[in-house]
Amino acid sequence: MTSAFKLPKQPPTTATEPRLDPAAALQTLDLAKDYGDGMGLTTALDIKIGAGELVMLVGPNGAGKSTFLGLASGMLEATTGWAFVQGHPAGTVEARAALSYLPDNPVLYDDLSLSEHIEYVARLHQTVEWEEYADDLVDMFGLSERVDDLPSRFSRGLKQKTGLILGLIRPFRVMLVDEPFVGLDTPGQETLVQIMSDVVAQGATIVCSTHQLDLVPSATRCIGLRDGELAYDGPATEAKIRELVGA
């Protein structure tokens, strides 16, 4: 009888892979994900993102943006290659400890209020002196009157704000965000732009999948994907973003 067991792929180390930079906040080496239908990341990516960068991840629907974030977060398994967070392979305990990942659809508990969600996440990640910071975040997103309500019953926009608060309340060095502006009202969008600017000013790294032009002045870089391939890696400008999304 032939066993179906396969040894897991071992990630390269600095001793065996000179391209790996342990000082990079986020790095991919030969990273690809092929779903078998032409979707995903069909061409291997070599990308290095440093500390304190705010990167806009841009491209039309189906370009591979969510796949890239899923691979970088360790939520998806690559077909080939690796992703590293703070020099640690994506998905490892060390990488997860350094990473805050906000998917486009926040995962919320049905029976926890907003304040209980915040306390749970803060204590789970051993956030120090989180109470005042939590109050500030709730106030900035205009949810002070909703802290005792169940986010599972919120509108799409309020759920989005809740997910952002939960992603920000925990310690992180790298944040991956998938379409965070969708469903936000104008004050919420303005708040998010300001918070992202403050986060990178303190040395953390953000990779944000978005076409939100209001973020352009704060962005240090734009990475464009198209048909699962790298289409652009350079300065973020309104003209380039419109070109990449086909607007």
pLDDT for 4 beyond 80: no
Residue 131 counted as domain residue: no
Residue 52 counted as domain residue: yes
Range of the domain at 237: 26-106+172-245
pLDDT for 231 beyond 70: yes
Residue 233 counted as domain residue: yes
pLDDT tens-digit readout, 160-216: 999 999 999 999 999 999 999 998 999 999 999 999 999 999 999 999 999 999 999
Map residue 17 onto helix, strand or coil.
coil
pLDDT tens-digit readout, 82-122: 999 999 999 999 999 999 999 988 889 999 999 999 999 99
Mean pLDDT of the chain: 92
Residue 17 counted as domain residue: no
For residue 31, the domain's CATH number is 3.40.50.300
pLDDT for 1 beyond 60: no
Ordered DSSP codes for 192-245: HHHHHHHHHHTT-EEEEE---GGGGGG-SEEEEEETTEEEEEE---HHHHHHHH
**Which candidate, 181, 136, 145, places its Cα nearest to that of 163?**
181
Residue 76 counted as domain residue: yes
How many distinct structural domains can be found in the chain?
1
Map residue 156 onto helix, strand or coil.
helix
pLDDT for 2 beyond 60: no
